[in-house]
Chains A and B, each alone.
Chain A
Amino acid sequence: MSPTGLVRSASLILLAVVALAFPLLVSDPASTNIGVFTLMYVGLATSWNIMGGYTGYISLGHAGFFGFGCYALGLPLAHLHVGGGYAPFFLVPLAGLLTALFAIPVGWIALRTRAATFVIVTIAVMFMLQLAASNLIGLTGGTGGLRFPNPGWSGDVFNDPFYYAMLGLAVAAIAASWWIRRSKFGLGLLAIRDDEDKATAVGVPTRAFKLTAFVISAALVGMMGGVYGYYVTYVYPEFVIDPTIGISMVLMAFLGGLGTVTGPVLGALLLEPAQLWLAYHFGAIRLYLVFFAATFLLVILVLPRGIVPSLAVLLRRRLALT
């Protein structure tokens, strides 16, 4: 193994150990709560990046899939009278599958548009979902909300199963992202990002590729929405189909570096704890929203390509000089 490969493997193992041991090392619920949400956003930003970063199709409506997945888990749980405990976690893949099935027609239509139009269509789909969830009272409970079963764990270890569930989904998303990035399929996605017409002229089946990336991205986000719903145990449409969730994952991917595997992970690790800290201390005045806006402006001004690509360029220059 080459030295860089060795360093990479060692740091990956170290990261895995820290991630796995975190709830054992830091056991107070306030901290593990931060862990749960940070891992959720690692997964969300990474999943979003599979579509937004690789193909360049910016979806601001992924919160719709997040909420859809949440309901896709919560409704079967309620209707099948599944109790608390670990059982709901086994139905999370079902929520992912349902979200994927929903994303196929949405993507089929939305991907007929490009650039700004696509952005608008995704936002519209999200709000349509929100309206549907609010108005289909018989199915969703409407604005009265949806109650998940009570997990039944005591407060001091309550967060831990959710931590590991989110960790599992985040790892799955990163693995999918890494796999796609180095595959022939991923090369086609990057070609679409650069010049879609040229890509189709050299044989890339652009529509099928875009739709596949869109559905994978949506399904992963949907599964995280399901776990999220079970974690917070009670959701209502405006709360779970929340534009700020969709914008957060986009911002994290932008900050870390669009179209890279590590960028969205880094972006989420930096932003989500900061956002939660601000929400805890200045929650009432929603200062975190100002923080988000300021971060977004800074990213665009200073690091338009994101941290990872900018660092890579810097490093390459250093290496070239020595």
Chain B
Amino acid sequence: MSLLEVEQLSKRFGGIVALDDCTLSVPEGSITGLIGPNGSGKTTLFNLVTGFIPRDGGEVRFKSKSIAGFGPDRIYGLGIGRTFQLARIFPRLTTLENMLVPVRRAGLRALLSHGQWGAEKARAMKMLASMDISEVAGTLGGALSYGQRKLLELAAVMMARPELVLLDEPGGGVNPALLERIAGHIQQLNRQGVTFLLVEHNLGFVMNLCHEVVVLHQGRAIAKGTPREVRENPAVLDAYLGA
């Protein structure tokens, strides 16, 4: 079953067609990779799915219900989390506070009560420990290393228990050891039931990690399949090598 379905999604920026009738789906429980040359529309697709920019046409469905036109905070509330290219965290909040911002609370009273509930704090510390960054819980986000920020961003997104997480270049700019750690965390979270859709330029990383790969080219999904199928698809070779 597909958790996320994107149907004939279109987006133009002036005269540039960023997404052109793009159709793809993300199976529930999978780690799906989204690859394609620069400018093929990967980040635009993320921004449309998570409600950051309005679409020009097409449909986005999450758990068979349309979410097109919803704002980012509402979409996050429905269970779709995302990370950004170059790891965005809150620099003047501590690591622990960074973890608590995404926690959802229902009702006005809960919003006005203390920002650090014991149970939330305990869960945040547990999550930080599982990412091996609990020692920087009291450090300001701006003082963390790039690798720590990457891990923190992933950990924080998980605090609202999303069912689907969109990762924009989880392996961008990190050393091979950390890359392996990040891949491990993604696999572990996936085993706990979280579905991932990730954009990544490191093809080795994608081929090892993903169950399914979708290839974007000039705003369209031109191929999909297992990593092996995609690697051997002539259309993909054309797109990448420009033959």
**Contact assessment for A185 and B111 in the assembled complex, using a CB-CB cutoff below 8 Å:** yes
Whole-angstrom distance between the alpha carbons of A132 and B62 in the complex? Answer: 50
In the complex, B212 has a CB within 8 A of chain A: no
Q: Mark A267-298, 1 if CB is under 8 A from B, else 0.
A: 00000000000000000000000000000000
**Contact assessment for A201 and B50 in the assembled complex, using a CB-CB cutoff below 8 Å:** yes
Q: How many residues of A contact B (CB 8 A)?
A: 23
Which of A41-49, A161-169, A191-199 interfaces with chain B?
A191-199
Within B69-104, the residues touching A (CB, 8 Å) are 71-73, 76-77, 81-82, 84, 88-93, 97, 100-104
| A188-B101, A191-B101 known; A198 vs B112 contact (CB < 8 Å) | no
Question: Which residues of chain A have C-beta atoms less than 8 A from B48's C-beta?
Answer: none
Q: Mark B208-227, 1 if CB is under 8 A from A, else 0.
A: 00000000000000000000
**Contact assessment for B97 and A187 in the assembled complex, using a CB-CB cutoff below 8 Å:** yes
**Contact assessment for B90 and A184 in the assembled complex, using a CB-CB cutoff below 8 Å:** no
Min CB gap B49→A, angstroms: 12
What is the size category of the interface that chain B forms with chain A?
A: 20 to 34
Q: Mark A36-69, 1 if CB is under 8 A from B, else 0.
A: 0000000000000000000000000000000000
Whole-angstrom distance between the alpha carbons of A208 and B93 in the complex? Answer: 21
Question: Which residues of chain B have C-beta atoms less than 8 A from A179's C-beta?
Answer: 112
Question: Which residues of chain A have C-beta atoms less than 8 A from B203's C-beta?
Answer: none
In the complex, A182 has a CB within 8 A of chain B: yes
Give the interface centre of A179, A203, A205 by most chain B CB atoms within 10 Å: A203
In the complex, A206 has a CB within 8 A of chain B: yes
Whole-angstrom distance between the alpha carbons of A186 and B72 in the complex? Answer: 20
Question: Which residues of chain B have C-beta atoms less than 8 A from A233's C-beta?
Answer: none
Give the interface centre of B77, B101, B105, B113 by most chain A CB atoms within 10 Å: B101
From B82, B101, B103, B113, give the contact of A183 (CB < 8 A): B113
Give the interface centre of B72, B82, B91 by most chain A CB atoms within 10 Å: B72
**Contact assessment for B73 and A203 in the assembled complex, using a CB-CB cutoff below 8 Å:** yes
**Contact assessment for A200 and B89 in the assembled complex, using a CB-CB cutoff below 8 Å:** no
From A182, A204, A205, give the contact of B101 (CB < 8 A): A204
**Contact assessment for B156 and A202 in the assembled complex, using a CB-CB cutoff below 8 Å:** yes
Secondary structure of the A side of the interface?
helix
In the complex, B52 has a CB within 8 A of chain A: yes
| A187-B115, A198-B90 known; A204 vs B100 contact (CB < 8 Å) | no
**Contact assessment for B81 and A202 in the assembled complex, using a CB-CB cutoff below 8 Å:** yes
Question: Which residues of chain A have C-beta atoms less than 8 A from B76's C-beta?
Answer: 200-203
| A179-B112, A185-B112 known; A193 vs B73 contact (CB < 8 Å) | no
From A182, A190, A200, give the contact of B73 (CB < 8 A): A200
In the complex, B35 has a CB within 8 A of chain A: no
**Contact assessment for B71 and A183 in the assembled complex, using a CB-CB cutoff below 8 Å:** no
Question: Which residues of chain B have C-beta atoms less than 8 A from A187's C-beta?
Answer: 93, 97, 100-101, 115
**Contact assessment for A206 and B73 in the assembled complex, using a CB-CB cutoff below 8 Å:** yes
**Contact assessment for B90 and A190 in the assembled complex, using a CB-CB cutoff below 8 Å:** yes
In the complex, B157 has a CB within 8 A of chain A: yes
Question: Which residues of chain B have C-beta atoms less than 8 A from A199's C-beta?
Answer: 90, 101
15 further A-B pairs in the complex, CB-CB below 8 A; given A184-B100, A195-B91, A198-B88: A183-B111, A183-B115, A184-B110, A184-B111, A186-B115, A188-B111, A194-B141, A198-B89, A199-B90, A200-B73, A201-B52, A202-B76, A202-B101, A203-B76, A204-B73
A sample of 26 cross-chain residue pairs with beta-carbon separation below 8 angstroms, ordered by A number, consists of A179-B112, A183-B111, A184-B111, A184-B113, A184-B115, A185-B115, A190-B92, A190-B93, A193-B92, A194-B90, A194-B91, A194-B141, A195-B88, A195-B89, A198-B88, A200-B71, A200-B76, A201-B50, A201-B72, A201-B84, A202-B101, A202-B156, A202-B160, A203-B73, A203-B77, A204-B73
